[in-house]
């Protein structure tokens, strides 16, 4: 039997740099970013800070490192941090919040719907008191979009209520915005509208935007100065980083194109529903399907050349710039078999 060419819907990180991006990388102006700075890296960081409405920003190799740096600087050992059920910082980052940052996680339920926290739950958790030997709750971690909930977005008004509840309880706020660009496009608001009131934010350049590597953390000038030290500690300092930053600058030019991925995700979801699958219509580019047996379903899909991943007990399909509408029609035909 002829092996079918795979159509990769495992993640929007599987995209490959196109010729425009590769040319920008090859032509990038560079310096030593560990010693006295790289001009292209500075340009990228300044542009991201402007988009997010923060005073400063810092390139990091991965989103996981960005989140780890933020938690290491926000938490003292033994501090409690709050995060939504199935948050990426809890389940998909190898426990760095505990291992490196020394934090004690407390999971909050999706009281207001899939991937959505309730401000009252945040306020109640922040207000918990006890004797001196009780754990201290000091940080709220938000995630927008919420990966495990199927790319669900948190609108600006809900975001503001959550940040207000955290602030009233004396908590700092870190936003895992790996797919914040997607949330902004889905709600037709500038990215800075989704970072109001947070202390720090992390965004990815490799999720849907086509960059081969890289994320950016942003916050105050003082935070970024300390973050640079921790990045070096974790092995994230790069020398001629402008080669990578150039890809990030091209990626930022493509934020407006993410809407096509959202439309393709909706097309795929509706096609799966017509085939009898139990699927929620997506808000962005992640489609989650409920199946009886995730492992065997993934194996059957792979045998038909359709690559997907498990996520929170469901099958996850992610649309991206390297998958066309024609590819998705092929996916539905293969699944229909």
Q: Angle at the Cα of 309 (from 304 to 311), degrees rounded to 5?
A: 145
Local confidence pLDDT in tens for the 337 residues of the chain: 567 899 999 999 999 999 999 999 999 999 887 887 899 999 999 999 999 999 999 999 999 999 999 999 999 999 999 999 999 999 988 888 988 988 999 999 999 888 899 999 999 999 877 888 888 999 999 999 999 999 999 999 999 999 999 999 999 999 999 999 999 999 999 999 999 999 999 999 999 999 999 999 999 999 999 999 999 999 988 888 899 999 999 999 999 999 999 999 999 999 999 999 999 999 999 999 999 999 999 999 999 999 999 999 999 999 999 999 999 999 999 999 8
Q: Which domains does the chain have, with CATH numbers?
A: 7-16+257-336 (3.90.1150.10), 19-252 (3.40.640.10)
């Amino acid at each position: 039997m002829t092996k079918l060419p795979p159509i990769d819907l495992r993640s929007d990180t599987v995209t490959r740099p196109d010729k425009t991006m590769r040319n920008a990388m090859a032509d990038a102006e560079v310096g030593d970013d560990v010693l006295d700075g790289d001009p292209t890296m500075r340009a990228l960081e300044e542009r991201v800070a402007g988009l997010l409405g923060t005073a400063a920003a810092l390139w990091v190799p991965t989103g996981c490192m960005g989140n780890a740096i933020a938690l290491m600087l926000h938490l003292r050992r033994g501090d409690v941090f709050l995060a939504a059920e199935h948050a990426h910082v809890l389940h998909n980052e190898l426990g760095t919040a505990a291992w490196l940052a020394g934090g004690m996680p407390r999971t909050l339920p999706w009281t207001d719907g899939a991937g959505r926290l309730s401000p009252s739950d945040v306020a109640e958790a922040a207000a918990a008191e006890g004797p001196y030997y009780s754990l201290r709750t000091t940080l709220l971690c938000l995630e927008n979009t919420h990966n495990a909930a199927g790319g669900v977005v948190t609108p600006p008004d809900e975001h503001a209520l959550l940040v207000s509840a955290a602030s009233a309880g004396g908590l700092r706020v870190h936003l895992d915005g790996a797919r914040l660009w997607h949330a902004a496009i889905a709600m037709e608001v500038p990215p800075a509208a989704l970072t109001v009131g947070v202390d720090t934010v992390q965004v990815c350049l490799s999720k849907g935007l086509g960059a081969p590597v890289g994320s950016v953390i942003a916050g105050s000038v003082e935070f970024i100065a300390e973050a640079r030290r921790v990045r070096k500690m974790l092995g994230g300092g790069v020398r001629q980083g402008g080669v990578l930053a150039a890809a990030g600058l091209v990626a930022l030019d493509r934020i407006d194109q993410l809407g096509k991925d959202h439309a393709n995700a909706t097309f795929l979801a509706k096609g799966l529903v017509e085939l009898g699958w139990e699927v929620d219509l997506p808000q962005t580019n992640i489609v989650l399907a409920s199946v009886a047996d995730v492992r065997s379903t993934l194996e059957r899909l792979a045998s038909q050349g359709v690559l997907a991943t498990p996520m929170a007990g469901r099958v996850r399909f992610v649309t991206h710039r390297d998958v066309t509408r024609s590819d998705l029609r092929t996916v539905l035909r293969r699944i229909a078999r």
